[in-house]
């Protein structure tokens, strides 16, 4: 039994839109269990009075002026499309 019984690799893989084989699920369950065991050490740290760091530097209000700039010509925009038609990117039918 891994140290992270809460980690349900199968469910998480669905959230991440990643089809995993049974073998991959089993391997990841074990390996990530070890990683989470190591990570559990963080619980020992007293962070009650600590602000989280989301950015390496404390800078605010980095803005851009509302000036339109040149866009890609459509042939460049679509140059890497796996499938395209009528200047649109085409995917499998989306059923809402």
Shortest gap between Cβ of 14 and other proteins (angstroms)? Answer: 8
User: Contacts with other proteins in 43-72 (CB under 8 A)?
Assistant: 43, 45, 47, 50-57, 59-72
Closer of 1 and 62 to other proteins (Cβ)? 62
CA distance linking residue 31 with residue 9, whole number of Å: 11
Residue 19 CB partners (closer than 8 Å, separation 6+): 13
CB atoms within 10 A of CB 9: 21
23 binds other proteins (CB under 8 A): no
Residue 81 CB partners (closer than 8 Å, separation 6+): 89, 90
Residues that bind other proteins (CB under 8 A): 6-7, 9, 12-13, 15-20, 24, 28, 31-32, 34-35, 38-39, 41-43, 45, 47, 50-57, 59-74, 76-83, 85-96
């Amino acid at each position: 039994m891994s140290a992270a019984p809460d980690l349900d690799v199968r469910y998480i893989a669905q959230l991440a839109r990643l089809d995993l084989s049974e073998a991959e699920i089993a391997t990841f369950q074990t390996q990530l269990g070890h990683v989470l065991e190591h990570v559990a050490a963080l619980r020992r740290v007293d962070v009650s009075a600590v602000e989280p760091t989301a950015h390496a530097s404390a800078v605010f209000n980095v803005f851009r002026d509302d000036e339109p700039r040149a866009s890609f010509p459509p042939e460049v925009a679509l140059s890497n499309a796996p499938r395209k038609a009528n200047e649109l990117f085409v995917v499998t039918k989306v059923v809402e």
